[in-house]
A and B are shown apart, each in its own frame.
Chain A
Amino acid sequence: MGNKEERNELWRKALRESMKNKDRMAIPRVKMPELDAAYRSRSYDEVNMGLSQEQAVQEAKRCLDCPDSSCMSGCPVGVNIPKFIKHIERNEILEAAGTLKETSALPAVCGRVCPQEKQCESRCIHLKMKSQPVAIGYLERFAADYEREQGSISAPKPVAGNGIKIAVIGSGPAGLSFAGDMAKYGYDVTVFEALHEIGGVLKYGIPEFRLPNRIVDAEIDILHKMGVKFITNCIVGKTLSYEDLHAQGFKGIFAASGAGLPNFMHIQGENLPGVLSSNEYLTRINLMGAGREGAETPVFMGKNVVVIGGGNTAMDSVRTARRLGAEKAMIIYRRSEEEMPARLEEVKHAKEEGVIFLTLHNPIEYIGDERGRVKQAVLQKMQLGEADASGRRRPVEIPGAVETVDADLVVVATGVSPNPLIPDAFGGLNVSQRGTIVVNEDSLQTDLPDVFAGGDIVRGGATVILAMGDGRQAAAAMHASFL
């Protein structure tokens, strides 16, 4: 059934008529309950506490269930947004969760980490009427959490298995989303993961206080129930070759190996102990549990922590440093706050937690102490010039304006590059100059006909939801190629 027909169902019509749009518009947008900033900046507990059912139903009433549902065009995986929200309005929370799972393998994850303000919510009709958009992300999280907490979590029913073996390389958001859809189509799906844990960046990258691992595990559990097999500690391209996968009978391969390689700035002193990539810092803490009772993996405990960058990973790193006891935790960003790529919510949360923002500054050197450990960062002051290719105003140096700040831990969060493992190991792929796999834009098929690719190995460093969108798109295209 198409979305239009679904909108015309009797229950939807009746619900629309039950309340005037004027009254719906008059309801103020719900505020997400949050942990107290002073408490949470020393704890790994999740900052956003989630809506109550009462709050969720009230927020759902704000949705006008408009005829063109433009919000949906802002969703990379095409969630039927009005339908799930209207289910919430009717207190049919499990049905709402079911609607989410029609298109998204990870609704509890998306409800937490998607930049809704740039996607679905940015298209909401409320904005056109100078009102705040419906809190679609909060509602998505509410429905997914409700289902899980009720213990009534259900796996979508796959069609009868077709026995065709499909390999997925990488268990991050792209791989999981692809695996979920292919399992629904009836394929025999095996996901290969290089690390010892399933989840990719959802586990090693995004911290507990933003996305608890148990939430990720619960969603992975659904995939298990749908028959998806997971093999950890298996590095495709190393442990198993392309030819090995063929020999094992895999007929289709989805490469979703992510943007594994951290970027460094190649400045003086960057290899001093105490200077590390955000990938290393966050992996030690999020994946390996460093800093927690009993964990054997060590991590630097900085008192004065400097984080370089203005994206979500920089915010995750600096907020983590606060939680590990940093007295001073600082963001150094070369542009102004306006150009920061991080989600507004992350910037707000970081500020509430006492993070200092030093914008229009760029590190040019790190200075070590007598033991060789980093002790200071030398910063070049910047100003904004003309707009550059990204449309943002280019930061330019202010000649002679240099300052030095104390730093016993420096975390470099200046982006990531594609992991070269798969491009190196699969002969015949078309690989771009910056190391991404080149694919057909519509099908996400690579130059090797049985290999499709998506997520950061194609995009070179994007978001969870775009990776998930790629997973869905590739699954649909690969499925079509078998019909």
Chain B
Amino acid sequence: MNKIVKKEVLSENVVRFAVEAPLIAKSGKPGHFVILRVGKSGERIPLTIADSDIQNGTITLIIQQAGKSTRKICALNEGEYIDDLAGPLGKATHIERFGTVVCACGGVGTAPMYPIARAMKQAGNKVSVVLAARTGDLIILEKEMRSIADEVVIMTDDGSYGQKGLVTQGVEQIINREKVDLCVTIGPAVMMKYVSLLTEKYKIPTVASLNTIMVDGTGMCGACRVTVGGKTRFVCVDGPEFDAHQVDFDEMLMRLNAYKEYE
């Protein structure tokens, strides 16, 4: 049982929780994820950690309502509990001084990117963050990102905030302006696919953090398997981050929809 000590609504469908989890706060690193479950008949949901506070023993989780389970989690209030929370899982992000790092985030993918961008900055990189969403109201963590990044570019599909256009256009502007040494992308699979295609064209090493279906999250079930460089890998134990240029995003998109008709 993990207590929710703080809840904030970030946008229409997105909430931010600070959850008591002192062990995870202490051992978690950027890129790690947790599995959570609410209710005795709830499903196990993987979620990348958005931040940790070792002092207060809490982790930050940012959740978007997408289905029944996430709706139920988002409806929880301060003082209520998440029944099961396990982690930190997966491999942490490889952080080092690359030079210029572009962080391409789509929607709620901005949340797990925040600790990665911050760690990249602390490691001495020049960090450019591209925040993209359908509309301005869905842009999250802009203030937080501005506080740690060298530059924040906002892109919206409808032009209601920042520039009108897709995340790839924001990334390409930076690529055209200066040498980019690494791109990290987190967001919907289809968005990561196009970011990957773009950076491949420019031969920029790119890491994508994949958000596949999981059950246990510890390597046991294989629901999360993806093809990377022609080999089957498990996102939960081999990932969640992979060389984006090697990831078979079309297969991943197909697998993400596997259970649609049963939900």
Contacts and interface: CB of A to CB of B under 8 A. Distances in A.
Interface of A: 194-196, 204, 232-235, 238-241, 244, 260-262, 264, 266, 270-274, 276-277, 279-280, 283-284, 288-289, 294-301, 372-373, 419-421
The winner among A232, A276, A301 for most chain B CB atoms within 10 A is A276
B84 A232 contact: yes
Contact of B220 (A264, A276, A279): A279
Contact of B41 (A262, A294, A373, A419): A294
A276 B213 CA distance: 12
A298 B257 CA distance: 12
Main secondary structure of the interface of B (DSSP, over half): mixed
Contact of B88 (A238, A260, A283, A289): A238
A235 B68 contact: no
Contacts of A266: 232
B219 interface: yes
Nearest to A292: B41
Contact of A297 (B43, B83, B85, B86): B43
Contact of A235 (B84, B218, B222): B218
Contacts of A297: 43-44, 215
Contact of B222 (A195, A277, A296, A298): A277
B86 A194 contact: yes
A194 B218 contact: yes
A104 B23 CA distance: 34
B64 interface: no
B261 to A, nearest CB: 9
B129 interface: no
B42 A296 contact: yes
Main secondary structure of the interface of A (DSSP, over half): loop
The winner among A240, A297, A301 for most chain B CB atoms within 10 A is A297
A263 to B, nearest CB: 9
Interface in B118-170: none
A239 B221 contact: no
B75 interface: no
A368 B262 CA distance: 18
A204 B215 CA distance: 11
Chain B residues touching A, range: 35 or more
Contacts of B42: 296
Contacts of B227: 271
B218 A298 contact: no
A204 B220 CA distance: 10
Contact of B87 (A235, A241, A301): A235
Nearest to A293: B41
Contacts of A284: 215, 221
A238 B27 contact: yes
B63 to A, nearest CB: 15
A296 B87 contact: no
B181 interface: no
Contacts of B222: 261-262, 264, 276-277, 279-280
A100 B203 CA distance: 66
B263 A298 contact: yes
Given A239-B24, A239-B86, A271-B251, A419 B232 contact: no
B215 A283 contact: yes
26 contacts: A195-B86, A196-B86, A235-B87, A235-B218, A238-B88, A238-B89, A239-B27, A239-B88, A260-B219, A261-B222, A271-B226, A271-B227, A273-B254, A273-B255, A274-B258, A279-B220, A280-B215, A280-B221, A283-B220, A295-B41, A296-B41, A296-B68, A297-B43, A298-B43, A298-B263, A419-B220
Nearest to A263: B222
B95 interface: no
Contacts of B44: 196, 288, 297
Contacts of A289: 41
A284 B86 CA distance: 18
A224 B178 CA distance: 63
B217 to A, nearest CB: 9
Interface string B227-263: 1000010100100000000000001001101110011
Contacts of B251: 271
A359 to B, nearest CB: 25
Contact of B232 (A232, A244, A270): A270
Nearest to A272: B254
Given A238-B89, A296-B69, A261 B220 contact: yes
Contacts of A280: 215, 221-223
Nearest to B258: A273
B200 to A, nearest CB: 22
CB-based closest 10 A-B pairs: A273-B258, A298-B262, A280-B221, A233-B86, A196-B84, A297-B43, A372-B254, A277-B222, A260-B220, A298-B259
A244 B26 CA distance: 11
Contacts of B225: 264, 271
Nearest to A294: B41
A195 B216 contact: yes
Nearest to B69: A296
Contact of A420 (B41, B219, B262): B219
Contacts of B89: 235, 238
B37 interface: yes
A194 B86 CA distance: 7
B58 to A, nearest CB: 15
Contacts of A295: 41, 43
A279 B236 CA distance: 15
A442 to B, nearest CB: 30
B193 to A, nearest CB: 15
Interface in B77-119: 83-89
Contacts of A420: 219, 237
Given A196-B37, A271-B225, A296-B68, A261 B43 contact: no
Given A204-B220, A240-B27, A296-B43, 19 more contacts: A195-B86, A196-B44, A235-B87, A238-B89, A260-B220, A261-B220, A271-B232, A276-B221, A279-B222, A280-B221, A283-B215, A284-B221, A288-B44, A288-B215, A294-B41, A295-B43, A296-B42, A300-B259, A300-B262
A250 to B, nearest CB: 15
Contacts of B254: 272-273, 372
B23 A240 contact: yes
B219 A234 contact: no
Given A271-B232, A279-B222, A298-B259, A239 B216 contact: no
